[in-house]
């Protein structure tokens, strides 16, 4: 089994509110680097920065309408082509759960993470920004 882990949560808020909370969490967490935002498609791609004894992770998030509320899906994996370790799957699952907890905390007011408006874009590896046109297709970094 690979180290990829996915978690989801159903929320009693509009998809727009859930996405703004997710964006706010990404913008206020120092270890996160936002690599792609698609406002209309309510999608985020985040790179978790490296720290001692860990490898960078990629967090992909998507918000969907679910009845009168929304579903937030978070997928965490190691950087493609990067090193892996035996417990990466466990850690990736915890990262996804912590992100969902941050979103819920932002929505219920226990965490302060207001989102700053940004345009839909992705950041290439060379640092330049390009428009992200289709949230169903991953950008070419």
Q: Would you give per-residue pLDDT tens digits along the chain (141 residues)?
A: 468 899 999 999 999 999 999 999 999 999 999 999 999 999 999 999 877 767 789 999 999 999 999 999 999 998 877 767 777 888 899 999 999 999 999 999 999 999 999 999 999 999 999 999 999 998 988
Token code pair at residue 59? 């967090």
Q: How far apart are CA 94 and CA 37, in angstroms?
A: 23
CATH assignment, 5-118: 3.30.530.50
* H-only helix segments in the chain: 15-28, 88-108
**For the purposes of burial, counting CB atoms within 10 Å of the CB of 129, is it exposed (0-12), middle (13-18) or buried (19 or more)?**
exposed
Residue 87 CB-half CA count within 13 A: 5
């Amino acid at each position: 089994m690979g180290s990829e882990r996915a978690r989801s949560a159903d929320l009693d808020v509009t998809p727009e509110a859930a996405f703004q909370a997710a964006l706010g969490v990404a913008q206020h967490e120092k270890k996160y680097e936002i690599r792609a935002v698609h406002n209309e498609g309510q999608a985020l791609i985040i790179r978790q920065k490296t720290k001692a004894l860990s490898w960078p992770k990629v967090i992909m998030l998507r918000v969907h309408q679910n009845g009168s509320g929304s579903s937030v899906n978070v997928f965490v994996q190691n950087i493609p082509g990067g090193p892996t370790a035996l417990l990466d799957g466990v850690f990736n699952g915890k990262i996804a759960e912590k992100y969902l907890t941050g979103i819920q905390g932002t929505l219920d007011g226990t965490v302060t993470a207001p989102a700053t408006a940004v345009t839909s874009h992705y950041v290439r590896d060379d640092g330049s920004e390009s428009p992200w046109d289709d949230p169903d297709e991953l950008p070419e970094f």
